[in-house]
Structure 1
Amino acid sequence: MGDASSVEPQFLSKLSPSADLVMAVFLVLTGVSSVCGNGAVLAVYYRKRRKIKPAELLTVNLALCDLGFSVLGAPFFIVSSWSHAWMFGETGCLLYGIQGSVFGIGSLITTCLISLDRCLKICCLRYGQWINNLHASLCVLLIWLYTVFWASLPAFGFGRYRPEPYGTSCTVDWWSIRTPRSDRVYVYLFLCFGFGLPTITIIASYLGILIKVYTSSRALASIPCCAVSNGSTKDLKLAKMAVAVCAAFLVAWLPYASVSLISALLSGEEDPLSKPTPAPVALSSALNWTTADSSKHTSHPPGPSTTGPESSLPPMVTVIPAMFAKSHCMMNPVIYQIMHREFRDSLYELVFGRQKADRRRQRRKTASVHTSVSMSVQKREPDRL
């Protein structure tokens, strides 16, 4: 890492210094919020680790993915935005791309399994009778193996990472989709198995949950309140929270994926087949940390984006969806706080102690009883008249 004057052209920011400063401040705020929020999620579930449920293991893994990006990825982006250039060179671009893909795909796959779990839990009564923590733990293990596999392939020459169009962050080289090299095969596979298939599963589960919630709500409205089981209403609340988590992920990441793909398909190069493209950064060259300034002009292989197709969209058009996507890591704890009373109670107990938490629960129960009594009295008064 050095000063911006020694940075190669492809790593220079395409935004104004004021825009980079705004990005840095925004990323600091979202990073701190994510660390605090996801840290609280992990602390709450650590306290109840002996009573944790299979679905909650997926929630823990989701918090780990969000926290991982905030701790390992966001500092790269913040420093580069503050310096008005990507300050970590080709090696940093590779490492940042790998961690971004690991935590990004991991978050998406985990969200996919959460939505699928909720859908099966609501729509298939037998599903909840056999699923256990062992199954959930195996799913978490497979998630990490799956994500590490796809994210690390560019380190071995299959696919590559390159700077974003605005210059201060790195991502999968979507622009190689227009080149004749094997890199575009990686882009196609990455889109299909890293984004497309999980997204379709989330949408299908989302629709299934909505249909079940709608039909169940109508059924619950037609029977007395005393006949409604607490388990049914709790499942519906958890299903609604799962829908919110999945919807937040899609809203955050679909614009970024769409803009990246459109930018790649409409890349500004006139004839990508006629121009040479650089070899991807291999693991052996990426791990060579003896990168003096003079070595940048020697016989080392070119970086991940020295040449090749460039984005046809303005940098500001590409940076807004990217910032929105990178801020997703702080959204899920907010959803838990708003929609999950049990999580709020556990967090309150973690911060203020069990005695205050018990008194808080008791006050809520007392208020609920008084509300039910007053509603019952109001219903009886018209009958007496």
Structure 2
Amino acid sequence: MGVSTSTEPQFLSKLSPSADLLIAVFLIFTGVSSVCGNGAVLAVYYRKRSKIKPAELLTVNLALCDFGFSVLGVPFFIISSLSHAWIFGETGCLLYGIQGSVFGIGSLISTSLISLDRCLKICCLRYGQWVNNLHAFLCMLVIWLYTVFWASLPAFGFGRYRPEPYGTSCTVDWWSIQTTHIDRLYVYLFLCFGFGLPTVTIITSYLAILIKVYISNRALASIPCSFVSNTSTKDLKLAKMAVVVCIAFLVAWLPYASVSLISALLSGEDPLSAPTPAPIINSVLNWTSTESYKHFNPGKWSNTSLSTHQGLTTSSPESSLAPVVTVIPALFAKSHCMMNPIIYQIMHREFRDSLYQMVFGRGKS
């Protein structure tokens, strides 16, 4: 696909065509895997909707968030990567940013509540006796109201959305942290309540689970009983699941949040002192080149971005980091929608049996 000559410079890709092609291929794989995985989760739970449990409703909400982003967000990123520019303009950037924040925060909050639910079930024996589907539905309602609130604020002037440093996607304007007090406040609040709160909840919940499992195993270690053996096996599986969940979450989101914040905080520095990509990345992937930067951005990738659309940047510093440094964490974050159904469902035998029965019409022998 060609790039229109009327495309604004801020929407042009700062990567090489080969890099954009690799990104498109990766996103196609991620999107298809996410749609299939989360679609399977939604289909299985729809079939058993009359017997669904409260904790499973949170998993359904998580799958719905990941499925929604894969259907409504990923295709725009793919098309822009293949076009070597964001071709949907300022309005498209605003809408893409809103849906990305809604589904992204929704996925993180759902993950944190699932973690908290598992923690309370292990550490508080009475918890499971009073929680019902009504509580789960109320949690889902709060999640959607919470995410829509934070995601839609930039459309009303509190915070902004703008193109990512690499040009083919849009996100919260982290770089406005260097401009007005209102935008700085939004960025800090968004980081705290959109990322920090669910991160602390997930890590704390699974640490509590691991501690509880460790204490229980020590208390039961001297009792030679088959029940203890079975319990220990279940506890070990739960501990492994806790480690997998925490690692997957941190690998997917922590680099993106860290790089975005660092890039924003350094955006006011001298652009000539900005770090450059590693030589091996340049040579192997051909993701950056002086010629391509001069072609798309004559000065450097750290000049000022201008826009007049409500909710988008009006004047804010560009990232002081090279585009290749910011695109990799962004891809990891977007791939989290593919990993969730694997972690929460496909690793569970009960789900695999239900999926097999749905596809083949009978249970496994």
Global fold match (TM > 0.5): yes
* Cα distance change on mapping 1:13 and 1:279 into 2, 3 Å: closer
Alignment partner, residue 44 of structure 1? 44
The 2-side partners of 1:71 and 1:276 are apart by: 32
Q: Identify if the C-alpha distance between structure 1 residues 247 and 97 changes in structure 2 by more than 3 Å, giving closer, same or farther.
A: same
Partner secondary structure for residue 282 of structure 1? coil
Aligned to 2:348: 340
d(CA) in 2 for partners of 1:2 and 1:192? Answer: 40
Q: Name the residue aligned to 2:157.
A: 157
The CA distance in 1 between the partners of 2:88 and 2:230, in whole Å, is 54
What's the counterpart of residue 338 of structure 2? 330
Q: Distance in 1 between matches of 2:316 and 2:107?
A: 30
- Given that 2:305 and 2:318 are in contact with CA atoms closer than 8 Å, whether structure 1 keeps it comes out as no
Q: 1:5 to 1:205 in 2, by over 3 A?
A: same
C-alpha separation in 2, matches of 1:281 and 1:124: 50
**Cα 1:49–1:229 shift into 2, 3 Å:** farther
Structure 2 contact 353–364 (Cα < 8 Å) conserved? no
Quickly say closer, same or farther: Cα 1:59–1:220, change in 2 above 3 A: farther
Matched to 2:143, the amino acid is I
- Equivalence for 1:28: 28
Q: What residue number does 2:244 align with?
A: 244
The answer as to 2:305 corresponding to 1:282 is: no
SS in structure 1 at match of 2:309: coil
Q: Which runs of 5+ in 1 are unaligned?
A: 284-303, 360-385
**Following the alignment from structure 1 to structure 2, what is the Cα–Cα distance between the partners of residues 138 and 232?**
34
SS in 2 for 1:267: coil
CA RMSD of aligned residues (A): 2.5
1:24 and 1:81 in contact (8 A); partners too = yes
Measure how far apart 1:353 and its partner are: 1.8
Cα shift at 1:119 = 0.7
Q: Distance in 1 between matches of 2:63 and 2:97?
A: 20
Q: How many angstroms apart in 2 are the aligned matches of 1:96 and 1:242?
A: 32
Conserved? CA contact 2:122–2:209, under 8 Å: yes
List per-residue Cα deviations over 1:227-269 (Å, max 9, x = no partner): 3497896577456535533431222000000000000000155
Post-superposition offset of 1:222:
3.4
One-letter amino acid matched to 2:338: M
Residue matched to 1:321: 329
TM-score by length of 2: 0.85
C-alpha displacement at 1:307, in angstroms? 3.7
Q: Which amino acid aligns with 1:106?
A: G
Give structure 2 stretches of 5+ with no counterpart: 272-302
Q: Which has the larger radius of gyration?
A: 1
SS in 2 for 1:308: strand
Structure 1 263/102 Cα, relative in aligned 2: closer, same or farther at 3 Å? same
Amino acid at match of 2:259: V
Equivalent residue for 1:264? 264
Aligned to 1:124: 124
* Cross-structure match for 1:297: none
Q: Identity rate of aligned residues, in percent?
A: 82
Indicate the larger mover: 237-246 or 14-23. 237-246
The one of the two structures with greater contact order (alpha-carbon pairs below 8 A, sep at least 6) is: 2
SS of residue in 1 equivalent to 2:171:
strand
Q: 1:140: which partner in 2?
A: 140
- So what's the TM-score if we normalise by structure 1? 0.81
Contact 1:269 1:309 in 2 (8 A): no
Structure 1 CA distance for aligned equivalents of residues 4 and 32 of structure 2: 26
- The 2-side partners of 1:59 and 1:309 are apart by 39
1:195 equivalent to 2:191? Answer: no
The answer to whether structure 1 residue 312 and structure 2 residue 320 are counterparts is yes
Counterparts of 1:49 and 1:106, CA distance in 2: 21
> 2 CA distance for matches of 1:342 and 1:122?
20
1:94 maps to which residue?
A: 94
8 Å contact from structure 1 (residues 160, 280) kept in 2:
no
Specify the code of the residue in structure 1 equivalent to 2:337: C
Q: Which residue of 1 aligns with 2:185?
A: 185
Matched residue pairs, number? 334
Partner of 1:5 in structure 2? Answer: 5
CA distance in 2, matches of 1:40, 1:49: 14
Distance 1:198 1:67 in 2: 20
- Residues 213 and 235 in structure 2, CA contact (< 8 A), matched pair in contact too: no
Partner SS, residue 73 of structure 2:
helix
User: Residue in 2 aligned with 1:377?
Assistant: none
